[in-house]
Every structure is written in structure tokens, then in C-alpha cells.
Amino acid sequence: MIELKRVSFAYPRSCEDAIKNASLVFGPGVTAVIGPNGSGKTTLLKLAALLYRPRAGEVLIDGVSFWSMPDAAKVAFRRKVVYVHEKPIMLRGSVADNVAYGLRVRNLSSEDVAARVDEALEALGIKSLAREKAQALSIGQQQRVALARALAVRPKSLLLDEPTANLDKSGREEFMELIVGLAERGTCIAVATHDRLLALKLMDRAVIVENGTATLIENPEEASLV
Ligand SMILES: Nc1ncnc2c1ncn2[C@@H]1O[C@H](COP(=O)(O)OP(=O)(O)O)[C@@H](O)[C@H]1O
Ligand SMILES: [Mg+2]
């Protein structure tokens, strides 16, 4: 679980905070992060993903304040959280190589790596693509590979930045069902989107972001009125 407490963040050479005093929890299930372009969704997710250090406030991972930890302790906490970029980034090599990437640095046996890759491909319904060149796939397929790569490391929290931006309507619906399935298995998932209708369909709660101000709404019915 990721908690932000009074978090503010400003980009270098910017006089205004891109995130202003945000306090919220990304808990179990699916949290939709909704807001127009430029409102601060990506910045918020990157703060939650421990990629950006807040100017003020705290980011707690499973109740522990991350940025005040000794460096040696940070590694284990970073591994609990994975951020998936809006544009899928494919490395050279096969789909299986791409999914194994995050596991290679983790001292797992090659059998364990193979088993986890297999499991992640299965979960995303792309087992048949294992030997394909990742960079030759469609964007929709690449998005699945990126998600499989994230899942393979078994993060407690998964932060997805506009994962459906490049998909058509049926692709979006399929992807969303997939995400709901993953959340049911216990991963805390946050999904940034400017597609409100879609978000309303799948979310357990919403974070509305407007001009750097984030508001957590626990009741989706209420969120639909915002
Ligand atoms: N690397 C950056 N440097 C300076 N300003 C940035 C940078 N990235 C984003 N911003 C600004 O921060 C604000 C929030 O951006 P962002 O988090 O990307 O919004 P969203 O993901 O909702 O579109 C915007 O005003 C944007 O222009
Ligand atoms: Mg964004």
C-alpha cells in the first residue's frame, strides 16, 4: 500500500508546484486517477512510484516513510512498486526476454525466471507471442508485454500511466478487464486515465486531479458526479 502525506512537488525551474499538498492512499483494488491533460496525473504516479522525490511531505510504503530510510533499506521497498510508462518501452529481443528483464537483476535461478515469465505471459494472454520480436508487435500487444514485465516481478503496487491511450474501444475494454482480474489477485493498482467512463466502470475509488490538486473519492458513485 502506498500513502502520500501532504506531498508537494515542483519540477526544476518551475515556480509552481505540479502537485500541491496531496494526501491520499493507493489501497487494494483499482484506483482510477482521473484528470485532464497536464493536471498532474503522471507526476502523482511517479511520486507514488518513488521515481520523484517530493519537495515536501512523505511517501509511505507499507507504513514506512520511504525518503527518510537509509539507502540500503530503500532497494527492498522500491521492489514493491512498479510504474508502467504510458508508451510501452520494448527492448531488443523476444517477448520472453523483455518480460524476464526485471528478474535478471534479482538473483533468481533460471528455472524461477522461466516460471515467472511463463506465468506473466499466461496472465496477459500472450503466451503464444513468447518467441516473437517485441519491437515488431502492435502497440496493443506491446502494452501487454510491458504489463507482463511489470507483473513478473510481483509488485505489491502497480501504477499504470494511461495504459489504454493507444488502444481502440474493444482493446480498451479487454485491457480493463485484465486489470480488474489482476487487482482481484491482490495487487494494488492505480490507473491514470482521462477516459472517465472507462474509469468509472472498473474502479474501486478515484483520485481526481485538477491543476496539481489531488482529491481521493472513496465512493465511485460520488465520483461519477464530479
Ligand atoms: N519534466 C517536466 N518539466 C517541467 N514541467 C513538467 C514536466 N513534466 C510535466 N510538467 C508539468 O507539470 C504539470 C503536470 O504534468 P503531468 O503530471 O504530466 O500531467 P498529466 O499526466 O495529468 O497530463 C503540467 O503543467 C506539465 O506541464
Ligand atoms: Mg500523463
- Band of residue 70 on the pLDDT scale cut at 50, 70, 90: very high
**Burial status of residue 169 (CB atoms within 10 A of its CB: 0-12, 13-18, 19 or more):** exposed
What are 5's three cell numbers?
A: 502525506
Residue nearest to atom 12 of ligand 1 (CA): 18
- What are the extents of the domains in the chain? 90-154
Q: Per-residue pLDDT for 5 more than 90?
A: yes
Ligand 2 (ion): which residues have CB within 5 A?
Answer: 41-42
Residue-wise pLDDT for 126-162, tens only, equals 999 999 999 999 988 998 899 999 989 989 999 999 9
Q: Per-residue pLDDT for 102 more than 70?
A: yes
14 lines ligand 1 (CB under 6 A): yes
Q: Which atom of ligand 1 is nearest to the CA of 35?
A: 22
Q: Where are the alpha helices (DSSP H) in the chain?
A: 41-48, 71-78, 95-104, 110-124, 139-152, 169-184, 196-202, 220-223
Best substitution site from 42, 160, 210 to test ligand 1's pocket, by max atoms within 8 Å of Cβ?
A: 42
What are 10's three cell numbers?
A: 515542483
35 lines ligand 1 (CB under 6 A): yes
Q: Per-residue pLDDT for 195 more than 80?
A: no
Total residue length of the chain: 226
- Band of residue 226 on the pLDDT scale cut at 50, 70, 90: low
Residue nearest to atom 1 of ligand 1 (CA): 11
Q: Scanning the structure block, which residue is given the C-alpha cell 486517477?
A: 33
Best substitution site from 9, 11, 44, 52 to test ligand 1's pocket, by max atoms within 8 Å of Cβ?
A: 11
